[in-house]
């Protein structure tokens, strides 16, 4: 009787453990992504077009424990042509500021925020973003960052574009339709604003979920 009860308890414990475990893919088959439900940020999006507005926005961002970072640059369709970074997105969990660097530059308050080691910033392919930002301010030295690609590698994940990583972890898709749009347009379209904010906010979501999976070992790599 004792043995049967023990076996039942073990079986029940195993079943509960299996339910709690998350399956994540080592490699993500992009063919399944279009079938997933779309995620788009629906919180507050605030476009910043002057240094005075940027100063107030930075003060608000300093109250968040984690910031998501991304940039956008106008695409160049001619050989030898290139543009400086046009947009810097910095997000908290429930809002995102879109700083139009093509209008007022990489202002000192933004440089200070992104160089502050006491403020945690997360992003994907940050090396590329930093290179673009340094083209606007050569003295910029980033600090206080976590690169999500490195984080994902620690879990054994190999496909680490934002779209594939988000689909892998959350089973939702992120639209990339606005990626090659004109980020120096006089007025950003609604689709551009949502696209830009979504990229920054999803970095926070990924950081929090990857951190949780890593700390609790609550995943199975398949």
pLDDT digits (tens, 9 = 90+) for 108-165: 999 999 999 999 999 999 999 999 999 999 999 999 999 999 999 999 999 989 999 9
**pLDDT tens digits along 185-209:** 999 999 999 999 999 999 999 999 9
pLDDT of residue 34: 93
Q: How confident is the model at residue 76 (pLDDT cuts 50, 70, 90)?
A: confident
Q: Please tell me which residue, 78 or 183, carries the higher pLDDT value.
A: 183
- Tokens, residue 195: 């696209």
Q: Is the pLDDT of residue 93 over 50?
A: yes
Domains of the chain: 22-221 (3.30.420.10)
Cβ pair 190, 177 in contact under 8 A: no
How confident is the model over 3-15, as pLDDT tens digits? 444 344 434 444 4
Contact 54, 110 (CB under 8 A): yes
Q: What is the pLDDT of residues 143-155, one digit of tens each?
A: 999 999 999 999 9
Going by C-alpha positions, the residue among 86, 97, 85, 88 that lies closest to residue 41 is 97
Cβ-proximal residues to 116 (8 Å cutoff; 6+ apart), any chain: 143, 144
Q: What is the mean pLDDT of residues 60-69?
A: 98
The pLDDT score that the predictor gives to residue 20 is: 64
Burial category of 98 from C-beta neighbours within 10 Å (exposed 0-12, middle 13-18, buried 19 and up): buried
Average pLDDT value for the chain: 90
- Please state, in angstroms and rounded to a whole number, the distance separating the CA atoms of residues 129 and 2: 62
Burial class (CB in 10 A: 0-12, 13-18, 19+), 215: exposed
CB neighbours of residue 12 within 10 Å: 10
* pLDDT at residue 2 greater than cutoff 60: no
Q: Give the pLDDT score at 135.
A: 95
**What does DSSP say about strands 66-73 and 85-91: parallel, antiparallel, or unpaired?**
antiparallel
Q: Tokens 């940027």 map to which residue?
A: 54
């Amino acid at each position: 009787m004792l043995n049967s009860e023990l076996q039942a308890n073990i079986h029940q414990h195993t079943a509960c453990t299996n339910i709690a475990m998350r399956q994540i893919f080592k490699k993500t088959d992009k063919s399944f992504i279009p079938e997933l439900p779309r995620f788009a940020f629906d919180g507050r999006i605030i476009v910043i077009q002057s240094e005075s507005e940027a100063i107030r926005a930075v003060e608000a961002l300093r109250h968040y424990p984690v910031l998501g970072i991304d940039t956008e640059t106008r695409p160049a369709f001619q050989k030898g042509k290139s543009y400086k970074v046009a947009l810097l997105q910095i997000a908290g969990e429930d809002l995102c500021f879109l700083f139009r660097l093509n209008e007022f530059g990489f202002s000192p308050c933004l440089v200070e925020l992104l160089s502050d080691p006491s403020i945690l910033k997360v992003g994907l392919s940050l090396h590329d973003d930093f290179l673009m930002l340094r083209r606007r301010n050569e003295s910029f030295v980033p600090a206080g960052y976590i690169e999500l690609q490195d984080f994902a590698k620690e879990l054994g994940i190999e496909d680490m574009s934002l779209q594939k990583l988000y689909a892998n972890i959350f089973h939702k898709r992120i639209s990339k339709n606005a990626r090659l749009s004109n980020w120096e347009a006089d007025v950003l379209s609604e689709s551009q604003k949502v696209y830009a904010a979504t990229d920054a906010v999803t970095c926070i979501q990924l950081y929090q979920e990857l951190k949780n999976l890593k700390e609790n070992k609550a995943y199975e790599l398949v």
